[in-house]
């Protein structure tokens, strides 16, 4: 029996977020603290010829690459990105020099003159000579199947950059401590930052990373904090004083990561009745100037590129290309929103060309339990594409509405999608995450590195432990992630925090319960004192993954969704306003229904922004509209009525049947909106669907 | 310069062109007011000046002379809205929440959904999609009526 799981219990955050008492990075102050500033490149490609400090440098701490005690690389996958430019500049806003001063006005007034030798930049990923990563997924014989297909439909689909716009910008404070550094920061992955600091500072310094309360992440604080953490640490080591670096909004938008722009080409073979017989998909992502996480974003994008459909002959070829722009990186959905957008708009166009109803087309081809995905993974009973589709259609009275709205200024469209939970393939096995649970005098304390960034990590983990241990939810404490005390439960990404880390915690709690032999934590603690349980992730024994050929069980399970968007167009201005969005999503089981609802509502609205509003304008390799005035995210007035439905289909390997949820809601809104715009008679294949793009579609 | 801060007459010696936001956070130690964009777009720094919501990041301190300034800290911890924001998960990451709560505190006592949407149109939230914020304000209003 569960008493906490499945209930919308009080959040562990307490009241502080609503009273302003909760401290974020910029709210912290340390004695003797300096402010740090980053001097960045003003060209997209070339070499640094000279650097001159054109100010009175007294009282300043100045750091360039020569001050780096160990390695000048940000430790991630491929180690190609420097903390500070030595000579080669690969993108605008690349860090070259760091300054620190106790007086912020003096700091901002400091003028550093840098002379460059400019070179010809590459901005177009299709013309780039260099790919960070190529991926091929192949099943059956696509060329053969295309040649014999009764109908072939082709199409190209494009998506733009998307900026995270966490309302708290990136910020850290490096504090000298015991001959080393304590790094406090707004971040998702404390051990990523720890590893990166080890790389830049070496092994001689004691180090710890403490996550401060984090004002939103969405992937934007997965890898980038490693960079800013290194910068602050270098200044702190050189000055011997605490150094705080908080980006302002412009710097955050110009210099930090964004969602990868994409170009996806489909060639699809079908029978006349609409059965998919061949899918040839070409995926190009714009990686930017350094590899960062592009290889894994591409991987997830490619695996999801055939959509939630069955087809025996599939070839997916993906490339993440180098361009002279700031590196793109992790963003909620991680490549899947781009490729699933292309697939779902393409499905609509296939239905148009076949002269058939797109619902029937989707129903006919949707993956069912027992079917095989593009990587030849056989789906188990927890696959719910059809259920989501049917519920969305029923709930919105889709067929009738679609008929009724024809020829009006309103359109309705739909998208079917899925999202793999956890790291891809053998990723979780390699990661070998650990969780620890400590017995306390009153209950238990969760000791993991998984971060609360708004989504409810603390609360949801405490619910799982509470029910598995059989003690009241209120007696479970959650430690603030500090790498010197918590277990490395891996990064807070990939919709893995509930399903993967939650499961390890559940196993810790079950073993603790056994050790208690019927006593309460208080009784046991009084008699024998405290103890800890540490457990490691166990990969489901049935999972097989071939990383060379990209075949096998890509994810332990998938969450499923179907979104229906109803939009209204102003035929004079070509502005499109979403009127109502219905989101039907199946993610195993909600541990905390109100938090789960918040993930779906919030993710859906981010997806609506991606579809309609959020336009990153790049000029000479830099974001030309890096303010919230010119890059608009949905306000209350841009946000339509949301109707959210949570379906349950338990995953046996998750805690209490739960799967991952965080990213799923991001995948559906853009294609649903664009398909609704197609219903209005506009042949749109790109996002964002800003009026300029729509006018161009209309005049074709 | 003198102004009333959360009901208390307060003197602060700061440059009149310093942002009210910085005066509150740095001179007065009230860090509940957050900076999100620095240009009056996101509303994270919302405070009340003479009962009206303003973005304190674009108000020079000189303009606050003799004014009545209320920050999130001035609403006290017992404000029903604040508990409702937590109960209804109207706060996720929480960085926009103080500004949202201040903006919501000057809505009329029994606001319609449309009045809430218009009243909060200057406050950006990237986590919730706003729906849970509406639920929090509506439930707090209901509780106020009960």
Does any domain span residue A135? no
Does the structure show a pLDDT above 90 at B33?
yes
Q: What is the pLDDT of residue B7?
A: 97
| Closest Cβ–Cβ partner in B73, B120, B131 for A20 | B73
How many whole angstroms separate alpha carbon A255 and alpha carbon A235?
A: 19
Q: What is the pLDDT of residue B146?
A: 59
Backbone angles phi, psi at B7, to 5 degrees: 90, -5
Q: How far is B65 from chain A (nearest CA, A)?
A: 23
Q: Where are the domains of chain B?
A: 2-74, 76-145
- Contact present, A447 and A532 (Cβ < 8 Å): yes
Are A398 and A454 found together in one domain? Answer: no
Architecture of domain B76-145: Orthogonal Bundle (1.10)
How many whole angstroms separate alpha carbon A659 and alpha carbon A495?
A: 8
Are A105 and A246 found together in one domain? Answer: yes
CB spacing of A167 vs B85 below 8 angstroms? no
Are A383 and A487 found together in one domain? Answer: no
| Closest Cβ–Cβ partner in A218, A629, A634 for B39 | A629
Q: Which residue bears the tokens 């950059």?
A: A161
CA nearest A211: which of A480, A26, A23, A447? A480
- Contact present, A565 and A669 (Cβ < 8 Å): yes
CB spacing of A627 vs B39 below 8 angstroms? yes
CB spacing of A455 vs B37 below 8 angstroms? no
CB spacing of B98 vs A218 below 8 angstroms? no
| Closest Cβ–Cβ partner in A10, A11, A24 for B95 | A24
Does any domain span residue A8? no
- Per-residue tokens: A84: 């500070």
Neighbours of A184 (CB within 10 A): 24
Beta strands in A189-292 (DSSP E): 207-211, 243-246, 262-270, 276-288
Q: Which of A583, A636, A637 to mutate to probe the B interface, most B CBs <10 Å? A: A636
How many whole angstroms separate alpha carbon B64 and alpha carbon B3?
A: 7
Residues of chain A neighbouring B30 (CB-CB closer than 8 A): 20
CB spacing of A605 vs B71 below 8 angstroms? no
Q: How far is A307 from chain B (nearest CA, A)?
A: 26
CB spacing of A636 vs B130 below 8 angstroms? yes
Does any domain span residue A129? no
Are A391 and A337 found together in one domain? Answer: yes
Does any domain span residue A70? yes
Helix (H) or strand (E) holding B131: helix B131-145
CB spacing of A167 vs B71 below 8 angstroms? no
CB spacing of A215 vs B34 below 8 angstroms? yes
Which residues form the domain of A481?
A: 16-22+427-536
Residues of chain A neighbouring B91 (CB-CB closer than 8 A): 11, 13, 17-18
Helix (H) or strand (E) holding A540: none
- Residue-wise burial string across B19-49, b where 16 or more C-beta atoms lie within 10 A, e elsewhere: bbbbbbbbebebbbbbbbbbebbbbbbbbbb
Report, as an integer, the average pLDDT of B75-92.
Answer: 89
Number of domains in chain A: 3
CB spacing of A605 vs B129 below 8 angstroms? yes
Neighbours of A567 (CB within 10 A): 29
Residues of chain A short of pLDDT 70, as ranges, are: 1, 700
Q: How do residues A12-38 score in pLDDT, each as one tens digit?
A: 998 999 999 999 999 999 999 999 999
| Closest Cβ–Cβ partner in B30, B94, B121 for A215 | B94
Bridge partners (DSSP) of residue A551 are A546
Question: What dihedral angle (degrees, nearest 10) is formed by the CA atoms of A604, A605, A607, A613?
Answer: 160
End-to-end CA distance of chain B: 43
Are A445 and A417 found together in one domain? Answer: no
**In chain B, how long is the greatest CA-to-CA distance?**
47
CATH topology agreement for domains B2-74 and B76-145: no
Are A324 and A238 found together in one domain? Answer: no
Does any domain span residue A595? yes
Are A77 and A193 found together in one domain? Answer: yes
How many whole angstroms separate alpha carbon A374 and alpha carbon A377?
A: 7
Question: Which of A491, A509, A536 is where one domain is finished?
Answer: A536
Domain CATH for A68: 3.30.365.10
CB spacing of A11 vs B86 below 8 angstroms? yes
Does any domain span residue A583? yes
Neighbours of A235 (CB within 10 A): 27
Bridge partners (DSSP) of residue B69 are B5, B49
Q: Which of A8, A11, A17 to mutate to probe the B interface, most B CBs <10 Å? A: A17
How many whole angstroms separate alpha carbon A334 and alpha carbon A336?
A: 6
Are A53 and A190 found together in one domain? Answer: yes
Q: How do residues A621-664 score in pLDDT, each as one tens digit?
A: 999 999 999 999 999 999 999 999 999 999 999 999 999 999 99
Q: Chain A residue closest to B90 (CA)?
A: A598
Question: Which of A536, A567, A597 is where one domain is finished?
Answer: A536
Q: What is the pLDDT of residue A639?
A: 98
- Contact present, A636 and B117 (Cβ < 8 Å): yes
Neighbours of A688 (CB within 10 A): 21
- Per-residue tokens: A73: 């690389």
Are A586 and A678 found together in one domain? Answer: yes
CATH H superfamily, domain B2-74: Beta-grasp domain (3.10.20.30)
The gap from C-alpha A491 to its chain's centroid, in whole angstroms, comes to 11
Q: How do residues A464-506 score in pLDDT, each as one tens digit?
A: 999 999 999 999 999 999 999 999 999 999 999 999 999 999 9
Does any domain span residue A327? yes
Does any domain span residue A188? yes
Q: Burial of A160 by CB count in 10 Å (0-12 exposed, 13-18 middle, 19+ buried)?
A: buried
């Amino acid at each position: 029996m569960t008493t906490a799981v499945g209930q919308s219990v009080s959040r562990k955050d307490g009241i502080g977020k609503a009273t302003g008492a909760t401290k974020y990075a910029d709210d912290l102050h340390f004695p003797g603290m300096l402010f740090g500033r980053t001097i960045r490149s003003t060209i997209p490609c070339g070499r640094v010829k000279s650097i001159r400090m054109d100010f009175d440098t007294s009282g300043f701490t100045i750091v360039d690459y020569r001050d780096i005690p160990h390695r000048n690389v940000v430790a991630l996958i491929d180690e190609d990105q420097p903390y500070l430019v030595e000579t080669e500049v690969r993108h605008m806003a690349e860090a070259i020099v760091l300054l620190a001063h106790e007086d912020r006005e003096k700091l901002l007034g400091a003028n550093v003159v840098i002379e460059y030798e400019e070179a010809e930049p590459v901005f177009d990923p299709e013309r780039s000579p260099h790919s960070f990563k190529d991926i091929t997924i192949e099943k059956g014989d696509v060329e053969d199947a295309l040649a014999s297909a009764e109908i072939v439909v082709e199409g190209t689909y494009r998506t733009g950059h998307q900026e995270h716009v966490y309302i708290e910008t990136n910020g850290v404070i490096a504090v000298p401590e015991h001959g080393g550094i304590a790094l406090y920061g707004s971040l998702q992955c404390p051990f990523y930052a720890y590893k990166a600091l080890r790389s830049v500072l070496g092994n001689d310094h004691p180090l710890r990373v403490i996550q401060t309360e984090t004002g939103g992440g969405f992937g934007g604080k997965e890898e980038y904090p490693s960079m800013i953490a290194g910068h602050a640490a270098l200044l702190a080591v050189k000055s011997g004083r605490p150094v705080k670096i908080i980006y302002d909004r412009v710097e955050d938008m110009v210099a930090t990561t964004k969602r990868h722009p994409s170009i996806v080409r489909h060639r699809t073979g079908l029978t006349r009745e609409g059965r998919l017989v061949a899918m040839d998909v070409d995926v190009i992502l714009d990686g930017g100037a350094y590899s960062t996480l592009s290889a894994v974003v591409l991987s997830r994008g490619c695996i999801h590129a055939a959509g939630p459909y069955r087809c025996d002959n599939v070839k997916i070829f993906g490339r993440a290309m180098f361009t002279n722009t700031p590196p793109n990186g992790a963003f909620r959905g991680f490549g899947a929103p781009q490729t699933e957008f292309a697939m779902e708009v393409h499905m609509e166009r296939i239905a148009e060309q076949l002269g058939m109803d797109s619902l029937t087309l989707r129903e006919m081809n949707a993956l069912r339990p027992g079917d095989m995905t593009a990587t030849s993974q056989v789906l188990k009973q927890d696959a719910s594409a059809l259920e989501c589709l049917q519920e969305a259609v029923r709930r919105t009275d889709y067929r009738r509405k679609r008929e009724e709205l024809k020829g009006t200024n309103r359109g309705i469209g739909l998208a079917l999608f899925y999202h793999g939970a956890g790291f891809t393939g053998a990723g979780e096995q390699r990661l070998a995450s650990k969780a620890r649970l400590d017995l306390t005098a009153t209950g238990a304390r969760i000791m993991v590195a998984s971060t609360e960034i708004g989504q409810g990590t603390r609360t949801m983990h405490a619910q799982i432990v509470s029910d598995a241990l059989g003690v009241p939810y209120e007696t479970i404490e959650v430690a603030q992630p500090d790498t010197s005390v918590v277990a490395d439960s891996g990064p807070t990404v990939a919709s893995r925090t509930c399903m993967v880390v939650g499961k390890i915690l559940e196993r810790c709690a079950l073993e603790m319960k056994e050790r208690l032999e019927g006593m309460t934590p208080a009784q046991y603690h009084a008699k024998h004192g405290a103890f800890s349980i540490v457990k490691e992730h166990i990969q489901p024994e049935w999972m097989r993954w071939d990383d060379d050929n990209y075949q096998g069980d890509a994810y332990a399970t998938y969450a499923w969704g179907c979104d229906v968007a109803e939009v209204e167009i102003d035929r004079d201005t070509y502005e499109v306003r979403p009127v109502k969005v219905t989101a039907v999503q199946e993610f195993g089981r909600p541990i905390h229904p109100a938090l789960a609802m918040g993930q779906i509502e919030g993710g859906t609205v981010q997806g609506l922004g991606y579809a309609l509003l959020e336009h990153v304008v790049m000029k000479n390799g830099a974001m030309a509209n890096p303010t919230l005035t010119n890059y608009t995210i949905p306000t209350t007035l841009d946000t339509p009525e949301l109707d959210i439905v949570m379906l349950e289909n338990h995953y046996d390997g998750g805690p209490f049947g739960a799967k991952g949820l965080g990213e799923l809601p991001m995948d559906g809104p853009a294609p649903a909106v664009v398909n609704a715009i197609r219903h209005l008679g506009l042949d749109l294949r790109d996002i964002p669907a800003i009026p300029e793009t729509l006018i161009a579609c209309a005049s074709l | 310069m003198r102004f009333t801060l959360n009901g208390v007459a307060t003197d602060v010696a700061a440059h009149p062109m310093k942002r009210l936001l910085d005066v509150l956070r740095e001179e007065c130690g009230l860090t509940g007011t957050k900076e999100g964009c620095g240009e009056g777009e996101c509303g994270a720094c919302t405070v009340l000046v003479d009962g009206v919501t303003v973005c304190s990041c674009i108000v020079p301190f000189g303009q606050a002379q003799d004014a009545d300034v209320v920050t999130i800290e001035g609403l006290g911890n017992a404000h029903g809205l604040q508990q409702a924001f937590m109960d209804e998960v109207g706060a996720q990451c929480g960085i926009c929440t103080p500004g949202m709560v201040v903006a919501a505190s000057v809505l009329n006592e029994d606001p319609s959904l449309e009045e809430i949407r218009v009243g909060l149109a200057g406050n950006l939230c990237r986590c919730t999609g706003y729906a849970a914020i509406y639920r929090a304000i509506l439930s707090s209003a209901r509780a106020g009526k009960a």
